Amino acid sequence: MTRGNDPAQYRTLRVALLGAGAVGSQVASLLLRHGDELADRAGARLELAGIAVRDLDAARDVELPRELLTTDAENLILGSDIVIELMGGIEPARTQLLAALNSGADVVTANKALLATHGPELFDAADRVGASVHYEAAAAGAIPIIRPLRDSLAGDRVVRIMGIVNGTTNYILDRMDTEGADFDDVLADAQRLGYAEADPTADVEGYDAAQKAAILASLAFHTTVPLETVHREGITGISAGMIQQASDAGYVIKLLAVCERITVDSVESISVRVYPALVARSHPLASVHGANNAVFVEAEAAGSLMFYGAGAGGVQTASAVLGDVVSAARRHIAGGVGVGESTRANLPIVPIAHVTTRYQITLEVEDQPGVLARVAGILSEGDVSVATVVQSAEGEGTARLVIGTHRATEAALSATVERLAASDVVDRVIAVLRVEGE
């Protein structure tokens, strides 16, 4: 019952760590502190052979033994059984991981940018030597989502994933929702508190979420999803008024990564997109507060599943990295080749114009008879069917129309919104938001 668990028989595996930032220093610390426990779980002693850093004297979140630090990553990688990459960025991470894989080492990485852009190259290199690439920490921080998608749901068909995969934007939107605050104010506060970077672009413009969406969609649909096929919109255009109006209608605004299996012209295809969307307050995703993440998965047989937890944080992410290290070690001990990436399905990825969702369109219109009929006429001509309309006076001869539509394609919707904007009865298109999860 304790196969491979006889300490006297433990092999020692050499582990190289590249990077000692917020996550890396925690990984090193846990490897050093919990060595015996990890050895029992992995069936092998995990020897931290060294930690490659750029600057030997940089300040660290956790104090690390000076003798483990090195600036010579190339030499450290040679002769390692497992290489953990936590530097981030494309280079030198890509070159060093390829060197590790080519030498037969298993690789663990949390580098979503690298995976979303050079994933296939890494997986190919791993395949050639029978090694494996582990990246649980790259998709949703500490939340175990890779193994559920790759293994637990391997006998099922994923229909849709809706993920809150960026903690910074969820923190901002959640505070805007609970406090009625403006985007700029909450962002400034989030930066002060360390929830947002000094340059928040990667988070608030949805780049980080788009990388994660590409990784999740690749796994869920067994298809290589290049980052440039992911439609991406950020949350900088979301105002306190839009949040209030969403709330009045029973919704909350969340930045969602949506990965969806759709049929276009009778061809089974997928759509991958990131944008702020309206989510009904009763939906489990609406209850994801603060900087937490959650991934909601709909599968044909399993039905609806949700995975919830911390999406970021040094020690939280370190937990996911160490789980991967143990898996890699078990593979070394058990023998056999790693589970390759399955891209056999290779479904076509369609542009957003083909996607159908429901929409909420908010217009400022002239407050005079016949306006609603004109607006309804334009919608109807554009093949956009109206589900609900709420009209309210704005004062000064203008009114506000909040229109909830039935499902329509993005192509139909955006053409129709253009015609509405050009119409003489519409003063202004205040907002157009998709509704997801219904």
Distance between the two ends of the chain, CA-based, in angstroms?
A: 47
Judged by CB under 8 A, the number of residues near a copy of itself is 75
Q: Where are the alpha helices (DSSP H) in 269-383?
A: 314-334, 371-381
Contact 109, 94 (CB under 8 A): no
- The verdict on 85 binding a copy of itself (CB under 8 A) reads no
* 112 classed as catalytic: no
Answer for which of 56, 188, 193, 337 binds a copy of itself (CB under 8 A) is 337
- The verdict on 224 binding a copy of itself (CB under 8 A) reads yes
Binders of a copy of itself among residues 183 to 202 (CB under 8 A) are none
Q: How many Cα atoms sit within 13 Å of 274 on the Cβ side? A: 31
Answer for which of 92, 104, 226, 340 binds a copy of itself (CB under 8 A) is 340
Q: How near is the Cβ of 17 to a copy of itself at its closest, in Å?
A: 13
Binders of a copy of itself among residues 274 to 333 (CB under 8 A) are 284, 287, 299-310, 313, 315-316, 318-327, 330-331
Decide whether 167 or 234 has the Cβ nearer to a copy of itself: 167
* Residues 40-79, mask of contacts with a copy of itself (x by CB under 8 A): xxxx------------------------------------
**293 Cβ contact list (under 8 Å, min separation 6):** 140, 141, 143, 163, 164, 165, 166, 167, 170, 308, 309, 310, 311, 312
- The verdict on 437 binding a copy of itself (CB under 8 A) reads no
Decide whether 174 or 233 has the Cβ nearer to a copy of itself: 174
Give, to the nearest 10 degrees, the angle between helix 167-179 and helix 183-193: 130
Binders of a copy of itself among residues 358 to 417 (CB under 8 A) are none
Q: How near is the Cβ of 208 to a copy of itself at its closest, in Å?
A: 20
Binders of a copy of itself among residues 134 to 153 (CB under 8 A) are 136, 142-144, 146-148, 151-153
Dist CA 217 CA 233 (whole Å): 17
Dist CA 79 CA 91 (whole Å): 21
- The verdict on 156 binding a copy of itself (CB under 8 A) reads yes
- The verdict on 26 binding a copy of itself (CB under 8 A) reads yes
Helix (H, G, I), strand (E, B) or coil at 182: coil
Q: How near is the Cβ of 32 to a copy of itself at its closest, in Å?
A: 13
Stretch that binds a copy of itself, among 54-62, 116-124, 401-409, 413-421 (CB under 8 A): 116-124
Decide whether 305 or 415 has the Cβ nearer to a copy of itself: 305
Dist CA 186 CA 399 (whole Å): 29
Decide whether 5 or 392 has the Cβ nearer to a copy of itself: 5
Decide whether 60 or 222 has the Cβ nearer to a copy of itself: 222
- The verdict on 345 binding a copy of itself (CB under 8 A) reads yes
Max CA distance (Å), the chain: 87
Burial of 252 (C-beta count, 10 Å sphere; 0-12/13-18/19+)? buried
Decide whether 142 or 433 has the Cβ nearer to a copy of itself: 142
Decide whether 107 or 399 has the Cβ nearer to a copy of itself: 107
Q: H or E segment at 403?
A: strand 398-405
Task: Kindly report the backbone phi and psi dihedral angles of residue 230, in degrees, each rounded to the nearest multiple of 5, phi listed first.
Answer: -85, 120
Binders of a copy of itself among residues 5 to 24 (CB under 8 A) are 5
- The verdict on 2 binding a copy of itself (CB under 8 A) reads yes
Q: Of 45, 160, 212, 261, which residue is the catalytic one?
A: 212
Helix (H, G, I), strand (E, B) or coil at 143: coil
> Measuring CA to CA, which residue among 303, 335, 312, 288 is closest to residue 212?
312
Q: How near is the Cβ of 302 to a copy of itself at its closest, in Å?
A: 4
Q: How near is the Cβ of 50 to a copy of itself at its closest, in Å?
A: 19
Strands 106-109 and 386-395: unpaired
Neighbours of 218 (CB within 10 A): 26
Decide whether 80 or 357 has the Cβ nearer to a copy of itself: 80
Dist CA 360 CA 401 (whole Å): 10
> Measuring CA to CA, which residue among 211, 18, 228 is closest to residue 112?
211
Residues labelled as active-site residues: 212
